[in-house]
Amino acid sequence: MRRNVPHKLERGEHAQMHTLEAIIASLIMVAIIIFTVQATSLTPLTSSTANAHIEAQLQAMGQDMLNALSYSAYGQNSNLTNDVLKWDGEQYVWNGTTYRTVRNPGYELQDSSLAHTLEFIAVKRGIAHNVHFSWVDEEGVTMSRRYIYNGDPSNNAVVISKRVHLSDFDVGNTTEFAARSGIPDADPTDFYNIVNVKMTLWRM
């Protein structure tokens, strides 16, 4: 009996070692699987991450454009304000060469800083874009009309907006401006109206 005891202990120790090795190997495999899954879900090649990255880029690009156009030197209107003041109420579309009206394709959008910026930045990068002007009428109802329109945006489109404050002094002839643009004088004081410039950007 005494001679068999060391042999049994040796076999028990080997069994414990095998069990421990199996547990360690299993833990290593589980760790590798978890690491692989996490790495795959975070890679830029996945659809959701790529879309989020593109949307963030478009958001920053659009915000930079509107911020730059909203800058004004002391005593002068910003380029965005001038674009609103010059608007004739027409809807314009990009025809591959320039922005032209829907009703009269022979009429081109001219002297628009917003259109020039979109042509230089968005068009050259294959980025589709819409621009809407919205305001509140005399009855307090929000109205919206298209300034530049290039179709329905995709599900991954981003929207950036900037408000333009107009005074009677900025507008000049308030009656003529209201008839031309459709933007009414919302207040009997020197304040005229606030126009919200909403830009929508998406990848085609």
Q: With a cut of 70, which residues of the chain have pLDDT below it?
A: 1-22, 25-26, 29-50
30-57: pLDDT as tens digits: 666 555 445 434 344 445 666 788 889 9
Q: What pLDDT, on the 0 to 100 scale, is given for residue 110? A: 87
Least Cα distance to 162 among 73, 83, 51 occurs for 83
Res 152: pLDDT = 92
Which residues make Cβ contacts (< 8 Å) with residue 161, sequence separation at least 6? Answer: 66, 196, 197, 198, 199
The confidence score (pLDDT) of residue 185 equals: 93
- The one-letter code for the residue type at 34 is I
pLDDT at 8: 52
Query: Residue 41: what pLDDT?
Result: 41
Longest Cα–Cα distance in the chain: 117
By CB atoms closer than 10 A (0-12, 13-18, 19+), residue 177 is: buried
Radius of gyration of the chain (CA): 32
Within 104-173, residue ranges assigned H as helices are: 113-121, 168-171
Which residues, 6 or more positions from 15, have their beta carbon under 8 angstroms from its beta carbon? Answer: none
pLDDT of residue 9: 47
Q: Please report the pLDDT score of residue 74 as a whole number.
A: 86
C-alpha to C-alpha distance for 150 and 127, rounded to whole angstroms: 10
What token pair was written down for 179? 């008839």
